[in-house]
Amino acid sequence: MALPAGPAHRRLSGSAEAVPGLNALSDSRTGLDGQPYRIVERDGVRYTLLGTAHVSRASVVAVETAIASGRYDTIAVELDAQRHRALTDPDALAGLDLFQIIREGKTGLVAANLALAAYQRRLAEHLGVEPGAELKAAAVGAAERGLRLALVDRDVGITLRRAFSRLGWWRRAKLLAGLAAGLFADHEVEADEIERLKQGDVLEASFSEFAQGTPEVYEAVIAERDRYMAASLRQIGTEGCREVLVVVGAGHLAGLTSHLAEDHGEPAAQLSELEALPPRSNFPWFTVLLAVFLLGGFAWGAWQGGLQFGGELLLQWALITAVGGALGCLAAGGHPLSILAAFVASPLTPLHPALASGTVSALVEAWVRKPTYADFLRLREDTGHLSGWWRNRVARVLLNFFLTSLGTGIAVWLAGAHLVGRLA
């Protein structure tokens, strides 16, 4: 039944009594009985927001029962296209173009997604249910019944990049270190981690205390996504649907309900604003400053101690950075040719703003040790354990990129300190 068009009307409910006239919604046949949910009626569309826990079997049953009730013409889920494909297509990673990923500078994003997936698998092992199983059930149920499926969440890559861009370099380092420790360490799942997942947001749980204690991270990971999903729902509401079941983590219910009922303005404009990536400086300040520092140091050394002394400084700087990159590649289990590539590239790439030694080394590694189809199929499973990052050829290429770049970065600072010490 179509609802009358007009201003937004918000109805909040966890039981039938709180929503007069909608008793059918609390019937056990709809799957909402005993589950947290909200109802928002806006512009002729009734949105039923079902709050789920991403580690709850009861949430899976609730979703399946709600879809089977036949009440809804559209199923909206807290997923983007990438995560939807990962949940519903076990062979999705087999289609990755590793060379393209490296050339386009998306290595970090792919590795971050794999690390988040590894974290979720670790939770699944401890809790006995796959995180996000209720979202998968919603997507599969919509397809089986021929219902429209709407993916209303923002691309996880955009979310991570917006969160990362708001932090200073020290907080970025802490965030990366905390993520790495939390995702790769094989420890028992803490009670607070489980409670965060019972509130229904895997991304927030993955960021642990950073999402709670850092307003910039919370804004990008939680608050912005509430606004984004609300705008997405309003957008699909203009496309003919009348009864929409929205499956989201319970932690999003309050914020999403408020934005869906009260936000104004064009949904498309809001989506564009929330998808925009922070502007990057076109001027390579670090590269220019490093070049000035090095050239000035070599020139000063040559003026003070002669050309031979200046040449020594140049050679020592090159050797330190070359060894640093090579050691990073070696730590990643790189092929000898990859190590050689890292050794040659590391002194040069810090002076090139668009190229990293890790990129050069990873491309050589992918070319020499071409990953097999089986490597792609096992990628999620292998990256669930620390040793798997070295065993799987795809993961080892990604690891090669990071450790080579890290080794070069550390070596640049050490070489700079050595240069200052020699000049002093």
- H-run or E-run covering 419: helix 393-423
Residue 309, number of CB atoms within 10 A of its CB: 17
Q: State the DSSP code for 26.
A: G
SS3 assignment, position 37:
strand
* HSE (side-chain half, CA atoms, 13 Å) at 386: 8
- Supply the pLDDT for residue 179: 57
Q: Considering only CA atoms, which of 244, 82, 217 is closest in space to residue 149?
A: 244
| Cα separation, 424 vs 416, whole angstroms | 12
Q: Considering only CA atoms, which of 32, 132, 125, 47 is closest in space to residue 82?
A: 132
The arithmetic mean of pLDDT across residues 382-392, rounded, is: 80
In the structure encoding, which two tokens stand for residue 264, read together?
Answer: 């104004």
The arithmetic mean of pLDDT across residues 217-222, rounded, is: 75
Q: Are 175 and 164 in contact (CB under 8 A)?
A: yes
b/e string for 76-91 if b means 16 or more Cβ within 10 A?
bbbbbebbbbbbeeee
The arithmetic mean of pLDDT across residues 309-335, rounded, is: 89
Write down the residue that tokens 């919370």 correspond to: 218
How far from chain centre, in Å, is Cα 250?
20
Predicted confidence band of residue 145 (pLDDT cuts 50, 70, 90): very high
Does the pLDDT value for residue 4 go beyond 60?
A: no
- When mean pLDDT is compared over 113-117, 183-187, 217-221, the highest value belongs to 217-221
- Supply the pLDDT for residue 266: 92
Residues 6+ apart with CB under 8 A from 49: 37, 38, 39, 40, 246, 248, 253, 256, 257, 260
Dump pLDDT digits (tens) for 74-108: 999 998 888 888 777 766 665 666 777 777 666 76
Q: Are 404 and 358 in contact (CB under 8 A)?
A: yes
- Supply the pLDDT for residue 133: 81
Q: Are 22 and 11 in contact (CB under 8 A)?
A: yes
Angle, CA of 6, 11 and 15, to the nearest 5°:
150
- Supply the pLDDT for residue 19: 33
Predicted confidence band of residue 343 (pLDDT cuts 50, 70, 90): very high
In the structure encoding, which two tokens stand for residue 316, read together?
Answer: 């020592």
Least confident of 44-53, 136-145, 214-223, 308-317: 214-223
Q: Considering only CA atoms, which of 105, 210, 64, 81 is closest in space to residue 154?
A: 81
Does the pLDDT value for residue 407 go beyond 70?
A: yes
Q: What are phi and psi of 279, to 5 degrees?
A: -65, 140
- Supply the pLDDT for residue 27: 45
Dump pLDDT digits (tens) for 155-213: 887 887 887 777 776 676 666 665 555 545 555 555 555 555 555 555 555 554 444 55
First to last CA, the chain: 82
Does the pLDDT value for residue 7 go beyond 70?
A: no
The one-letter amino acid code at 208 reads: S
Residues 6+ apart with CB under 8 A from 52: 35, 59, 62, 63, 134, 135, 200, 247, 248, 249, 250
- Supply the pLDDT for residue 10: 36
Q: State the DSSP code for 189.
A: P
Residue 67, number of CB atoms within 10 A of its CB: 23
When the pLDDT of each residue in the chain is averaged and rounded to a whole number, the result is 76
Global pTM reads: 0.67
b/e string for 114-136 if b means 16 or more Cβ within 10 A?
bbbbbbbbbbbeebebbbbbbbb
Written in H, E and C, the secondary structure of 333-367 is CCCHHHHHHHHHHCCCHHHCCCCCHHHHHHHHHHH
* HSE (side-chain half, CA atoms, 13 Å) at 98: 27
Residue 382, number of CB atoms within 10 A of its CB: 21
- Supply the pLDDT for residue 387: 82
According to DSSP, the residues that pair with 49 across neighbouring strands are: 38, 246
Q: Are 365 and 334 in contact (CB under 8 A)?
A: yes
According to DSSP, the residues that pair with 364 across neighbouring strands are: none
Percent of the chain, pLDDT > 70? 67
Dump pLDDT digits (tens) for 9-68: 333 333 323 332 233 344 444 557 677 889 999 989 999 999 887 667 778 888 999 999
